[in-house]
A and B are shown apart, each in its own frame.
Chain A
Amino acid sequence: MKVIEMNLIEARGVKFSYDTKPVLRDINLTVHKGEVVSLLGPNGSGKSTLLKVMLGLLRPSAGSIRLKGTEIARIDAKAVARQIAYVPQTHKGTFSYKVIDVVLMGRLPHKPFFFSYNRKDRDIAFEKLDRLSISHLAERPYTELSGGERQLTLIARAMAQGAEIFVLDEPATGLDYGNQLRLLEQIIKLSREGYTFIKSTHSPEHAFWLGDRSVMIKEGVIIGDGKTEAIIDQESLHTLYNAKVSVMKVNGSLRVCVPHVITNHTRMTVKSEKDEIMFLPLNL
């Protein structure tokens, strides 16, 4: 009984192709409540497409996407939007709407055909900005924000939608290091409050920091799915990215990636017998 409630989104045998080019070949993926799922894969592997199919924005050519047990295509678009929110890759936008106006857009799925935002909508929008500690940005033009602030604004909008599942397409791309960390911090915070995250990323490090679950996708096929520590290792990164990287443990739990090119360059070697990180100068 509980199991049915826990399966938020379920992709079964999903296939998708743009014209004749197959992008997703046979995807089976179930996301449970409160999970943080990192979707890893090289460019063109089908990450973004999978996210869009799971949002109901693209219709799979075969298979089904179920949202809490119901086929997503059969659910009213506004009802879907009240449950799943899409946080697109950071974009600058053309018109300089105020941040508060962007967050207010999140209230649209709660509105009738002809609508205007009322007091309650504005209160909700301000409350979400406050939750993310960016209420000082409310009156600023969205186009003048930094990448990190824009991403947080879009997350606030997703919260204003009332959604419990957030789908983020490479949220950290284009953000400076500090903003990447602040973004991940917010994701961790929100996941503890019960929000579910599905995000694509180019960074195995981010997947490690977020922990939880990772899914690897290559050429439209899922080649790894499970606990992040179990999934991301030297072999799988090599398969996925054709990159030579060692995965090391720090203090026994946190994992970091050490590219071999770095160890060669710095004339160090990595001792990896105990999975503990240990940099040894080569010319002792």
Chain B
Amino acid sequence: MKRPTVITSLTLLLIVMGVISLTLGKYPVTLRDTALFLLAKITGQQQATALSMDLLDSLFLSIRLPRVVAAVLVGSSLSVAGAAFQAMFINPLVSPSLLGVLAGASFGAALGMILFKSWLAVQVSTFVFGFISVMVAVGIARMFKGSAILLLILGGVISGAMFTSLLSVVKYCADPYEKLPAIVYWLMGGLSYADAQTVWITAVPMVISMIMLVAMSGYLNVLSMGDEEARALGVPVEKIRLLMIFLASLVSSLTVVMGGMIGWVGLIIPHISRMLVGPDNKILIPVSILIGGIYLLLVDDISRMLFDTEIPIGIVTSLVGIPFFVFVMKKANRGWGS
């Protein structure tokens, strides 16, 4: 398929999926009402709906729309961060959690939950510690001389392990009847916390960062050939890599703010995208964004519709992701991306 065709079809699919997801939910709304509501919104004319327009308004726009947008943004962010990390660390097996960002963010969330009453404070703490963990990883890597990539990975392992231990400390200290379950459920991942305000505020930096990553995607090909080759092509390797790590960590950290720990998306979506369009990051990055959005939207629909009670989305993404990953590993003997 031609590149513009792929992008256009995926964009259309994402929009269609988004609209369908809006109509899905526990509250019974007839298809006719949904169609009339959409028509009313598009044309601006009143339509004769069975349920009151106000009710539909709040149902669709205040409850379901933020959730749909959150699913798309979280899926896209994790996928683009994963794809960028895989290229710049020249390793198709790394995920956005490589530099400890998810461990740090989880610790921040848990700490916030036991310290603060305000939900906003918890979100800020989540984001801040997500970022601190990446800075710790980069800081550790900079303390030593040697292969920059290897040191960053090592720094990430150390930073991730440190924040995971700190998370255990917080869990141990948390009130076991109220706070601990809240922390545990949060870490399972779920988009039910994604209220309209959170979504609209976090959406802005997420979208800007993703646009930046798309604009810089050409550097990823060169970075994945190794530092020396990239430098010989005139690329300021350290600067570009640090900027891209910053952007990828920013979006990853914000996904935890929106939906807790959602694993495996950032690892498998770049692989699916590579199977579809090949490894050229110029196309892989935008395609990962689109497929990531579509995938998480689908998984979120399943997790909220399948049973009477909602299944935490992180559980679904892991259960789907792990068998898929085994399949990918089997294919990968032929070289990544063909």
Contact = CB atoms under 8 A, between A and B. Distances in A.
A and B assemble together: yes
B335 A96 contact: yes
B228 A78 contact: no
A166 B236 CA distance: 20
A78 B234 CA distance: 4
Interface string A52-89: 10010100000000000000000011111110111010
Interface stretch (B67-75, B136-144, B276-284): B276-284
A265 interface: no
Interface string B271-290: 00010001110100000000
Closest 6 CB pairs of A and B: A81-B234, A86-B232, A78-B234, A95-B279, A109-B234, A77-B234
A97 B280 contact: yes
B336 A106 contact: no
A253 interface: no
B231 to A, nearest CB: 5
Contacts of A116: 218, 282
A117 interface: yes
B215 interface: yes
B90 to A, nearest CB: 5
A180 to B, nearest CB: 22
B225 A105 contact: yes
A116 B233 CA distance: 15
Nearest to A79: B234
17 contacts: A55-B232, A84-B232, A88-B232, A94-B90, A94-B92, A95-B92, A96-B279, A97-B221, A97-B279, A106-B233, A108-B233, A108-B234, A108-B235, A117-B218, A141-B337, A143-B335, A161-B233
Q: Which of B92, B216, B229 has the most CB of A within 10 A?
A: B229
Interface of B: 87, 90-92, 145, 215-216, 218, 221-222, 224-226, 228-229, 231-236, 274, 278-280, 282, 335-338
A141 B338 contact: yes
Contacts of B335: 95-96, 141, 143-144
Interface string A100-132: 011001101101001111000000000000000
A93 B92 CA distance: 12
Q: Which of A97, A102, A111, A143 has the most CB of B within 10 A?
A: A97
A61 to B, nearest CB: 14
Nearest to B282: A116
A52 B222 CA distance: 18
A21 to B, nearest CB: 13
A83 to B, nearest CB: 10
Contacts of B218: 108, 111, 115-117
Contacts of A98: 278, 280
B259 to A, nearest CB: 29
Contacts of A86: 228-229, 232
A114 B233 contact: no
Nearest to B280: A101
Contacts of B234: 76-82, 108-109
Contacts of A95: 87, 92, 224, 274, 279, 335-337
Contacts of A79: 234
B224 A81 contact: no
B232 A85 contact: yes
Contacts of B221: 97, 101, 105
A105 to B, nearest CB: 5
A114 B229 CA distance: 19
A105 B233 contact: yes
A106 B218 CA distance: 12
A153 to B, nearest CB: 12
A91 interface: yes
A163 to B, nearest CB: 10
B336 A88 contact: no
Contacts of B336: 94-96
Given A114-B216, A115-B218, A116-B282, A93 B225 contact: yes
A97 B229 CA distance: 15
Contacts of B224: 93-95
B60 to A, nearest CB: 37
B92 to A, nearest CB: 7
Q: Which of B92, B225, B233, B279 has the most CB of A within 10 A?
A: B233
A144 B336 CA distance: 11
Contacts of A97: 221, 278-280, 337
A143 B279 CA distance: 11
A109 B233 contact: yes
Interface string A122-158: 0000000000000000000101100000000000000
A19 B146 CA distance: 11
B232 to A, nearest CB: 4
